[in-house]
Structure 1
Amino acid sequence: MERMERKPKLHQHQHSEITNDAGLPLDLIIDILSRLPAKFICQFRCVSKLWRAILSPPDPVLQNLHRNRSNSTPLLLFFYNSYHYIFFSSLDTQGQLQNWFTKQIGSPVQSRRFCQGLMCLLCSEHVYVCNPSTQELLQVPYSSKLCDIYDFALGFLPSTNEYKIAHWFLERDRNLDMVMVCQLFTIKGGPNSHGTWRVVGNSPHFLSVRRHPICVNGSFYWLVNGLRNSGNSMKILAFDLATEEYETVLCPKTYSGRYDDTDQLLSIEGSLCLVYGKQGEPHIDIWMMKDRKNQIWTKEYSFDIFATNRPLWILQYIPSGDGRDEEMLIWSQKGCLLFYNIKTRCIRNMGNLINKNIGIDFDMGVHLWPHLYFDSLYSLGAR
């Protein structure tokens, strides 16, 4: 009797050697699928056993191709919460509705964070992570420390393809001094997304609840008050998700912002940027960190934005592509959502289109602040 050899998993095969029943190479199937929205790709798991093997969880080659193609077609993701229900709507940059869905959750959402296609929702009794593209909702194990939460964030570590939820809380050390402690939860993706919370150390600065961290290239960044007699009144605190260590980053030498100004941190094309604009004035300066190791900044943008309602906050940077110029997504003084074309210096108002396509009043304010969103196949191993 001949010995039967166990076939390796599909992902271990050379893609060019695998064909389906119709004789199509797997490479071609993956190339076709990578051009489709994630919600359709998820539905194709029922087509055949081969496609289910490719899509549950998504093949790594498919994920990479899909991610690269999605990066050229940014979407705007709107989230709103009503009692025990959450609602997601995504629109393209012309205001056309692309996708929407709703989910029931255990308790109302108190706060949320967004990073690289996923959203983390903090509720009074639960913590969830959601992929709006695949409509997966993962309930994260609750930690008693979340009752004392000071701030929290969702980050992505590209080197391991993992997402990490971080939250900071205050407690007293052995000397009875108040310290800020960080706790992390890692999401690995796929059926083994579940993990545990663990404490990783204390922050050297007290963070400001007014300035939430952003994640750029696997590190969290905050604007914090500078130390006395240190020159600039503002500093940037960094937390590396790979090494789990803190570092203080100096602001650009030509930056003169104060804590009460409308300055903020932004991610532009994968680089950390510092945005500075004085309250009530239309002028905006944006510095980009060109060399993270040596902390070298360059002033990348400097422009004036004149509009009926002067802008207060730059929400997102929208890259150029598909005949589209680079734009800044801006939240203006009276709730208007504006697109500022950096090349032509023209402004277009998205508010009316959003009201029409989402079906609710955009003047609800910060609860509808959009996130720049790229369609994602990242699997949470949950439905």
Structure 2
Amino acid sequence: MKSRRRNVPEDPQTIRRRSSRLSADELLSKIPIDLVIEIFSRLPLKSIARCRCVSKRWASALGRSDFTELFLTKSLACPQLLFACQKESELIFLSSPQPKNPDEAVSLIAADHHMTFPFERVDDISISINGYVCITDERILKGRKTPEDVLVICNPSTGQSFTLPKIPKLKKMKRTAKSFFVYDPIEKQHKVLAMARVDGRYVHQVLTLKGTRNLTWRMIECSVPHYYPGPKCICIDGVLYYGALGSNKCHILVCFDVRSEKYSSIKAIQRAVEEGATLVNYKGKLASLRAQPNPHAISGTSTSFEMWILEDPEKHEWSSRIYKLPPVWKDVVAGEVLFFKGVTATNEIVLSPKTSSDIYYVYYYNFDKESITRVEFQGMKPFRKGWGSGVFTLLNHVEDVKLI
């Protein structure tokens, strides 16, 4: 009589030893791809960078569009502060979770280092759009004596960057007056809008980012004559807004539809768009912030600030509010000179200095509580005043792991 074979459970250590003999590729192939994507999407940024180096199969899985889209979607729910710190010929990127309802007591948050890029003289950095920033770098090109603006797209999450083609030179064209980094949420396309002065008038050119090859600038028509575009701009739901001087020498609010590439304008209260005003996204609406008495910056001597809100773009209707700073304002801010950086999803204005000392603070003003909170960020080396040094603070940055 044959004895029956008994199903004895394997020893867990035996299972672990067998699993340890599997290569990384074999282990990945035994897991359903949907589960692989879900697991990877929960990893921190630096872990994903290391996993890409394991093998070609792992790199391929992390390059799938469904994975990068899922990772970006999760990142959008957890926006970060991005710090671009320039010191001499380097631009150092650091990021930190964007505090949600920071306590009134002084908070302490660590800033995580991303990447360091070589730059000569950073003139401007755009807002962060889906993890990318556009940097205007002043460079003296080979064979030239005067500096020219060179536009560079950077992704601090992957450490990648690429230089955009030079803006075509037109006859009697002077240096580029202004460039804007914008995004069309419907077509999911990044674009760059550039303006340059030619014989007393401005010409407008657009470049659509489709990969990194065969990128070309296109001339577009502007139906709204304007001059001297302001340094402050904001892109909301596919529309770029910025202040400028109109043909009647008065300040106007210029609108550029990113998808159609058409211009329009909105009648604006002069105080809302003139020099010193900062344009922000307030609950999905365009708003303008100005400190009092000095509109260019806010300090311990400031007493209040005003906000103009565009309630109805079609009817050109605006509303205004005055916010008095709390009594503790002077003590909290001390001798700092601060600048408006934007408004968070939790309804707080963010202010920060342009340079850092041994300690770097970011300030949050709560509209509802009319309170001020100071948050210290560790890991920020001193970037003192002077040409070639400084700190750019960017709100609502998200991590995008899509490789260029």
Output the TM-score relative to the length of structure 1: 0.75
**Aligned counterpart, 2:156:** 132
Q: Which moved more, 1:238-247 or 1:76-85?
A: 76-85
**Aligned counterpart, 2:382:** 360
**Aligned counterpart, 2:96:** 91
Identity percentage of aligned residues: 21
| Residue 143 (str. 1) matches residue 167 (str. 2) | yes
**1:63-78 alignment runs, 5 A limit:** 63-78=68-83
Shift of 1:76: 1.8
| Residue 286 (str. 1) matches residue 303 (str. 2) | no
| Residue 197 (str. 1) matches residue 217 (str. 2) | yes
**Aligned counterpart, 1:171:** 198
Cα deviation code 1:276-296 (max 9, x no counterpart): 444345333434445555555
| Residue 187 (str. 1) matches residue 200 (str. 2) | no
Shift of 1:78: 1.6
| Residue 217 (str. 1) matches residue 237 (str. 2) | yes
Cα deviation code 1:244-300 (max 9, x no counterpart): 11101233xxx562665643211245442233444345333434445555555566x
**Aligned counterpart, 1:314:** 340
Structure 1 residues 194 and 147, CA, compared in 2 at 3 Å: closer, same or farther? farther
Structure 1 residues 209 and 248, CA, compared in 2 at 3 Å: closer, same or farther? closer
**1:1-383 alignment runs, 5 A limit:** 21=28, 23-56=30-63, 58-59=64-65, 61-92=66-97, 93=99, 94-105=108-119, 107-116=120-129, 117-123=131-137, 124=139, 125=141, 126-145=150-169, 148-172=175-199, 178-189=200-211, 192=212, 194-202=214-222, 204-208=224-228, 210-225=230-245, 234-251=251-268, 255=269, 257=271, 262-280=276-294, 282-289=303-310, 292=313, 295=316, 303-306=323-326, 307-308=329-330, 309=333, 313-320=339-346, 326-331=347-352, 337-350=362-375, 353-354=376-377, 356-361=378-383, 367-377=390-400, 379=402, 381=404
Q: Number of matched residues? A: 338
Answer with 1 or 2: which has the greater Rg: 2
Q: Which runs of 5+ in 1 are unaligned?
A: 1-18, 173-177, 321-325
Output the TM-score relative to the length of structure 2: 0.71
Shift of 1:348: 2.3
Q: Which moved more, 1:156-165 or 1:86-95?
A: 86-95
Structure 1 residues 98 and 346, CA, compared in 2 at 3 Å: closer, same or farther? same
Shift of 1:133: 1.2
**1: CA distance, partners of 2:225 / 2:338:** 27
Give the match's secondary structure for 1:160: coil
Shift of 1:62: 2.8
* 8 A contact 1:214–1:220 mirrored in 2: yes
Structure 1 residues 133 and 274, CA, compared in 2 at 3 Å: closer, same or farther? same
**Aligned counterpart, 1:12:** none
Structure 1 residues 295 and 54, CA, compared in 2 at 3 Å: closer, same or farther? farther
Give the match's secondary structure for 2:349: strand
* 8 A contact 1:282–1:311 mirrored in 2: no
Cα deviation code 1:200-255 (max 9, x no counterpart): 124633343543332222222112346759xxx6431001121111101233xxx5
Give the match's secondary structure for 1:68: helix
Shift of 1:156: 1.3
Q: Which runs of 5+ in 2 are unaligned?
A: 1-25, 100-107, 142-149, 295-301
Give the partner amino acid of 1:28.
Answer: L
Give the match's secondary structure for 1:265: strand
